[in-house]
Structure formats: structure tokens, C-alpha cells
Amino acid sequence: MIYQNPIVKGFYPDPSVCKVGDTFYMVCSSMQYFPGVPLFQSKDLINWEQIGHCLTRESQIALTGVNSSGGVFAPTIRYHEGRFYMVTTNDTTHQNFYVWTDDIMGEWSEPNYVDQGGIDPSLYFEDGRTYFMSNGSDEDGVPGIVQCEIEIETGKKLSKSKTIWQGSGGRYLEGPHLYKINGSYYLLAAEGGTEYGHMVTYARGNSIFGPFTSYASNPVLTNRNLGGYEIQGIGHGDLIEDNHGNWWIISLGFRQIGRWDTFHHLGREVFLTPVTFQKDGWFIAGEQGTTQRTVDTDRISDSVVQKKVKSVTFADTDWKKDWSYLRIPTEENYRIQKDRVQLHGTDVTLDQADSPTFLGLRQREFCAKITCDVQTDSGEAGITCYMDENHHYDLAIREKDKVFEIIERLNIGNIKSIEHIVIQKGSKIRFQIVAENSKYHFYCIQEDKESPIVLGEGLTRYLSSEVAGGFTGVMIGLYASDQKEGSFANFTNFTCEYV
């Protein structure tokens, strides 16, 4: 078949995958958003369905007041003796922990914490023992990939933390995963930073503890030298064997907005690359070590059809799976129904690293048309293209002295500018956003008029990671602020049509 990368689009970074029977399961980072760690399943590695989240309770993850792009980093999912484990880092509190479940469709446990530093933790099981690894420095101060044995029931350390590999020479060694394949141990990692120099590297050894010999042609997978190519930042991978004995790397990457426009705002996404083991036991990946947009492979049956999401509405999304809050929400501020949502805004705004009244959906394609009807009798309510508290574009209706204003606001760093104000009589407005690779076009449509009013534009580059920093992607958010007590803004007729 011929498939297109990315296989999961939008802000779903740091993928990790495991297989149970004929089904694959995948988790991704969620940073400051809640619920935490989106969970997917697939039968063919191409089409992924989100089935829930691993962190669904405040007791599992401390997100109150965390900085943007803090919170939940780089999870790993593993399956052992009938139980699923998800291990991750709260980068804000500098804690590594894991949760578990015996029912992948059910709730996950309370966290067990591991007293080892670093980020990007992973688990490896062998002979009744559990090994925990992360990046950082060991107890002797040696930097690299650090490993210890733990008691899986509690997270208690059973051995000294010791560095087992120091990488191939790239900066920011991270994302370790250990596998035993055909009698050898393979240690996969990321180097170069989750930017344009990102890469997948690996080493091989005869013992869990090493020594590990680096692959002579590292990096095994990177797009760092593909100047002008849409797909960049390939790295942070996880190896997986399919149901037919073929191997693959599932990794993160991102799409830049144009051939020579080195900005990306959709976030880090999920990519699939074929892996081939050679006779000497080393493996190669991709097309001459790169991940391509279009992959023609005989490893997947031609009967598999890659599904595309073309339209999203309230009715065909799941509020608990597809939508996210900023940090831990105050539940009484949300009234959610199948075809509408009502939001009570507080004095917490989108400009704060806090929990404003907000529900967000990941933007998955560059080109889209987004429409929503918004009505409020007090305060402010609207729709936002949201990267973080300092970088977001807002379309809002607000009440000021019993007069309703329609505004377009651009927030770029410490510059916060209302670009357009339209006065209207009623409390209801239809907003429309037309998204392109390099630009958002903003409109409103008043109830008594057929033609849209042009509110302005916003360049996507100012919501990109290259400008805003951080590790997230643009969310299409619905929000409210400063409502009177007992007042709720009403959101209906939401559609997001991808071109």
C-alpha cells in the first residue's frame, strides 16, 4: 500500500507503542493539558483511534500552575504479564512515575514514583525483574542513559542508578528504549534536540547493563539534512514489530509551513518509518535513513485504506477524548451537551499560566475552515487559535456597558493588540476562521447580514514553536472570561472542515 505521513496529525508528540495480540497501543505527551497522555489503538499501524487517556484524575498528575510546555513529558507504554504500564515525567515537579491498568479501556492506577532523575523514562522487563531508565546523570555524576532495577509493585529502587550509554555524540541525549531482539540488546535513543537537528540513534550489546556499542552509521534516522523538505524534526522513536515479523519505528516529527518557511505551529506529530534488520544484526531505517511524506510498502496489505478526517463537529467528537482543558478544570464552569457547550468564564484569562475556562481541539491540518456561533450576555467569550498564554489569536464577543463588541485580538509575546472592533446590537455572533499554511483569516457574520465582515489576519509563524518556544501545537479553543455570577456563554454549530 501507499501511506502518507504523519499517521497521526496535530499536537501528539513523543509517541510510544506496544503490541498485545494483533492490536497496537500508543501514547503521546500532553504537557499542560488535561486529561493527560492520550491513548490510541490500531490494527494496522496506519489508522489510529483514540480510546481514552491514561491520566484522568487530578490525583494522578499535578498540573496546577505548571508552565506552558511543562507538565507531562514523553510517556512510554509497555505490556507485561497481562498488565499495561505507562511511565512518564512531570517535568515541572521533576518526578518520574508510572501508572498501570489491567483493562486498557478502563481507569489507570494512582502513580508510583521512582527516585531517579532525568526525563523520558522507560521500562524493560526480563526474568521477573523490572528495569527503569531515563536520561540524566547517575549517582556517580556520569551523564547519559541511566538505569536501575525497581520493584514494580511500588517503584522502590533495588539497585544503584548507573549510566549504560552516553550516546553517539549528539546533544540532548534522551528518549531511551531497550529491547531484546534475536538475542541482542538494542538501546534506542534521541539526540540533537527536538528541533531541526533531531535524530534517532542506537547501540547494541550482549547484556542489559552493556557495554553498548554505537551503530557505526548513526544516526539511523533523521531528516536534519533535508533542506526545504516539509517533514523535519524526526526523532524520539520507538521500535515495534508488526503481526508479520516486520519492524518499524514510530517517531515524532513536524511539518514546516512551506519549503523555505522554517516554522511549524501544528506541533510535533506521529510518523511511521520501515526498519530492516541486516545479516550482521544491525538495522537500517527509512529511505536512506530519512522519513518520507509518502511511503510505498508491501509490508501492509493493499486492502488497508488510510482514513482521513475531513470534518469535525460537536456531534462527531467525543468530549472526553478529543477535547482538552488547560490544566485542571473547575468542572462547574462547564455544561457540556452533545450539540453544544456552555462556559462560565472567571477572572482567569488565556493570558495566564492557570486554568481559564477553555476547551481545545488540536488543529490537524494547515488548511481548514472553522466556524462557531457564540452568544454571551456578559464578559467575554470566543474562539482562539492558542499556542500558549503569550501566543494566541482571539475572536471574541464582549459586553461593555450594555454594548456588544466583536473584537479580533492578536497576542504575540508581550504585544497584545486589538486589531478590529465591530459594534453590534445582539449578543450572538458567528465566527469564522480560514486557516492556510502561513496565515489565519478572521471573519464574523452578524445575524441580520449574509456577508461576512473581515476582522483581519494573523501569521501562523507567530504561533510557531520557532517564535513561541515550547513543545506544543496550536489548539482551536473555545473560551469564556469574566461572566457574571450564574451566567454562561453558549457555543453552538461548531464545524472544522479540513481541506
Length of the chain: 499
Q: Which of 91, 120, 138, 174 is catalytic?
A: 174
418's CB contacts (< 8 A; 6+ apart) are 407, 408, 409
Q: Which helix (H) or strand (E) holds 484?
A: none
Q: Looking at residue 254, what DSSP letter applies?
A: E
Active site residue 174: yes
The rounded distance, in Å, linking the Cα atoms of 261 and 265 is 12
Amino acid symbol at 92? T
Q: How many CB atoms lie within 10 A of CB 57?
A: 13
Reading the block at residue 137, the C-alpha cell is: 546523570
Residue 385's φ and ψ, nearest 5 degrees, are -95, 105
Q: Which of 14, 191, 388, 482 is catalytic?
A: 14
Residue 451's φ and ψ, nearest 5 degrees, are -85, 140
Q: How many CB atoms lie within 10 A of CB 262?
A: 15
The rounded distance, in Å, linking the Cα atoms of 48 and 338 is 23
CB 34 within 8 A of CB 334: no
Report in angstroms the alpha-carbon separations of 463 from 25, 31, 162, 323, 410.
31, 17, 40, 20, 10
The rounded distance, in Å, linking the Cα atoms of 168 and 95 is 27
Q: Which helix (H) or strand (E) holds 465?
A: helix 465-468
Reading the block at residue 368, the C-alpha cell is: 481548514
Q: Which residues are known catalytic residues?
A: 14, 174
